[in-house]
Structure 1
Amino acid sequence: MVLSPKGLRFLGRTYPCTIGKGGLTSRKREGDGATPRGAHRIVGMLYRPDRMARPADWAVPIHPGDLWSDGPGDEDYNMMVRAPYPHSHEKLRRSDPLYDLILLTDWNWPYAVPGRGSAIFIHQWRRPGYPTEGCIALSRQSLHHIAPRIRHRTRLVIP
């Protein structure tokens, strides 16, 4: 997968996508809204089993209480955690469809550097052209087309 000015290229097709509201950066920081440049890997896939079928045999279901730690001072920073959770976090099981299907990248993972930024996901967009908080977002149709074709450790290149 390669991010280009026209979208996300994968297996000979280009899919329109959006990136972080802070643009692209080589100096990612927690909360900057930027998408980090570099060569990353897809290291996980999460999905909502109450909203869709399992997209790949290695996909993991998102359950009620699943969260993602985004507090730089937390020992579980940039890791999936469970509620109740006293530190800063993001709910993975959202009421909207943005996180019905998530491709996890290895950005600042598994050994997170505090403040370097957490959770760069590939997920569904709100609408075309609407930026993310640093993730890459695609239409639901595009994301569902890519998911069963992707492999664990697939490269994601953000030039």
Structure 2
Amino acid sequence: MSIPTALTRLVVTASVLALGAGLGLAPMPGDAPASAKTAYCTGVEKNRAVAAGKVIEVKQRSTLKADVYLCRKSGKRYIRDKGPYGARLGYAGTTANKREGDGKTPKGVFWMRNGFGTASNPGLRKSWTKVTRDHVWVDGKATKKGGYNTMQRKSKGYRGEALYQPKPYKYAQVIGYNEARTPGKGSAIFLHANTASMKTAGCVSMYESQLVMTMKWQSTTATQILIH
């Protein structure tokens, strides 16, 4: 190709690109990408119970599945830092009137509490309990006096859900549901890793890598979870 011909083609190409930009046409391959538009967590903003600087939004999209967004307050708005991540809900869906043993995930806004797991703390900036085969979460027909909805030890006479479960409870965080410990209102509601069956009995589960990222993202900021 001759030099004059090459220069002519370059000039023509530049003119076409300039014209396309003026007409609002899509950029050509190799052009610098446009800046991403800020995404807001409008569902979080509409909920008056939200008060935290960071919120884990669990947005239900089917009976058993949800999308998780990590939302951070910026001024008067909440912006999406990360997500969506896929999540699983209770095998019977969700409810605003949770009862013990119904297999449903409670809807609402709750504070994220301490973590626990069969492994060491992956980076959650809260208290962490490395559980053993002696640890249980008291559930079922227990009364408030009997430790209902708290972590206890079998060696001290308590009975409940075994917490030494390396698949779902390698890493887990307590969702502050029923902190009044009202018997029968539901217990052992956690954010944890997916089970082998991809089902939960009322918790919210995520893929392990995304769960760990969610734990680290909270940092030292008090965090709530919105399930809706």
Residue aligned with 2:102, SS: coil
What does residue 16 of structure 1 align with? 86
What does residue 90 of structure 1 align with? 161
| Alpha-carbon distance in structure 2 between the residues aligned to 1:141 and 1:59 | 20
% identical equivalent positions: 25
Residue aligned with 1:145, SS: helix
| 1:92-111 alignment, distance < 5 Å | 92-94=163-165, 96-109=166-179, 111=180
What does residue 111 of structure 2 align with? 41
TM-score if structure 1 supplies the norm length?
Answer: 0.87
TM-score if structure 2 supplies the norm length?
Answer: 0.62
| Alpha-carbon distance in structure 2 between the residues aligned to 1:25 and 1:16 | 19
Compare the two structures and name the one with the higher helix fraction.
2
| Alpha-carbon distance in structure 2 between the residues aligned to 1:142 and 1:26 | 26
What does residue 123 of structure 2 align with? 55
Q: Which runs of 5+ in 1 are unaligned?
A: none
* Counterpart residue identity of residue 126, structure 1: T
What does residue 189 of structure 2 align with? 120
Deviation at 1:137, TM superposition (A): 0.3
User: Residues 80 and 9 from structure 1, CA distance in 2 versus in 1: closer, same or farther, beyond 3 angstroms?
Assistant: same
Moved more, 84-93 or 17-26: 84-93
User: Residues 45 and 152 from structure 1, CA distance in 2 versus in 1: closer, same or farther, beyond 3 angstroms?
Assistant: farther
Runs ≥4 residues deviating over 6 A: none
CA contact 1:42–1:152 (8 Å) conserved in 2: no
What does residue 69 of structure 1 align with? 138
Residue aligned with 2:155, SS: coil
Aligned residues between the structures? 154
User: Rg larger in 1 or in 2?
Assistant: 2
What does residue 156 of structure 1 align with? 225
CA contact 1:72–1:114 (8 Å) conserved in 2: yes
Deviation at 1:28, TM superposition (A): 0.4
User: Residues 115 and 123 from structure 1, CA distance in 2 versus in 1: closer, same or farther, beyond 3 angstroms?
Assistant: same
* Counterpart residue identity of residue 69, structure 1: V
Residue aligned with 2:100, SS: coil
Match of residue 203, structure 2, among 125, 130, 135: 135
- Please give the root-mean-square deviation of Cα atoms over the aligned residues, in Å: 1.9
